[in-house]
A and B are shown apart, each in its own frame.
Chain A
Amino acid sequence: GQQVMQIPQYQHVQEGEDFTTYCNSSTTLSNIQWYKQRPGGHPVFLIQLVKSGEVKKQKRLTFQFGEAKKNSSLHITATQTTDVGTYFCAGPHGSGNTGKLIFGQGTTLQVKP
């Protein structure tokens, strides 16, 4: 069945270092979304990418959608302690705009001050 894989599962960085998480889908996706979950919190939508090769930036966060629309990445430049949390990628499950998403396993980021 359809799968979305995310690596690494955990990442510990020193504050100020960069961080990247990678997401790979077994199928071509119409779009990919990224969510952030703070410790003890709930996932919160960050961004959606739709176009092949799309790159979007949010301050220190850079999101990319692969040319084949099967992979994506999130890069954080100069991490801060406020970046701590788990980052999930998610793609539509099947077809149609039902909101059903299949999530990657998430990458948990720890930042040492």
Chain B
Amino acid sequence: DAGITQSPRHKVTETGTPVTLRCHQTENHRYMYWYRQDPGHGLRLIHYSYGVKDTDKGEVSDGYSVSRSKTEDFLLTLESATSSQTSVYFCATHGPLSGNTIYFGEGSWLTVV
């Protein structure tokens, strides 16, 4: 597995508070992604990045923003957390030598109460 670290791994937060999840990779992969996983929906792409300061929206981007100031770090921010954002969040990366395969981090479990 690629060296992908997500933090925090578990978090409980209150509705209306901002939350930032961090993804750190040591593979120097150009592409990074944030997915959320919910029962019955599989993995849905929130935002992705093609490189430093180069990001774009995925299919479920409302209520989320991202930043990538360094190749190794990709931050996901919930600007004002809602209960519908309770989910498991996975960061993933993709590099030139990985073919079409993407590598996932271990996930961040977020509960919004």
Does B84 lie at the interface of the complex (its beta carbon under 8 Å from any beta carbon of A)? no
Stretch at the interface among A12-20, A62-70, A97-105: A97-105
Among B31, B35, B99, B105, point to the contact of A98 (Cβ < 8 A): B31
Q: Are A42 and B107 in contact (CB under 8 A)?
A: yes
Q: Are A42 and B102 in contact (CB under 8 A)?
A: no
Question: Which residue on B lies nearest to A100, using beta carbons?
Answer: B48
What interface size band does chain A fall in? 20 to 34
Does A31 lie at the interface of the complex (its beta carbon under 8 Å from any beta carbon of B)? yes
Q: Are B106 and A100 in contact (CB under 8 A)?
A: no
Q: Are B43 and A43 in contact (CB under 8 A)?
A: yes
Evaluate whether A42 and B90 lie within 8 angstroms (CB atoms) in the complex, with A6-B42, A33-B101 already known: yes
Question: Which residue on B lies nearest to A89, using beta carbons?
Answer: B42
Q: Are A88 and B43 in contact (CB under 8 A)?
A: yes
Question: Which residue on A lies nearest to B104, using beta carbons?
Answer: A42
A108 to chain B, nearest CB (A): 9
Q: Are B42 and A99 in contact (CB under 8 A)?
A: no
Residues of A within 8 A of B64 (CB): none
Distance, CA A22 to CA B98, complexed state (A): 25
Using a CB-CB cutoff of 8 Å, which residues 34-81 of chain B contact chain A? 35, 40-45, 48, 50, 58-59
Evaluate whether A101 and B107 lie within 8 angstroms (CB atoms) in the complex, with A42-B90, A88-B43 already known: no
Interface residues of A (CB under 8 A from B): 1, 6, 9, 31, 33, 41-45, 48, 88, 90, 92-93, 97-106
Interface residues of B (CB under 8 A from A): 1, 31, 33, 35, 40-45, 48, 50, 58-59, 90, 92, 94, 98-107
The 5 closest A-B pairs by CB, nearest first: A99-B94, A105-B42, A103-B43, A42-B104, A103-B42
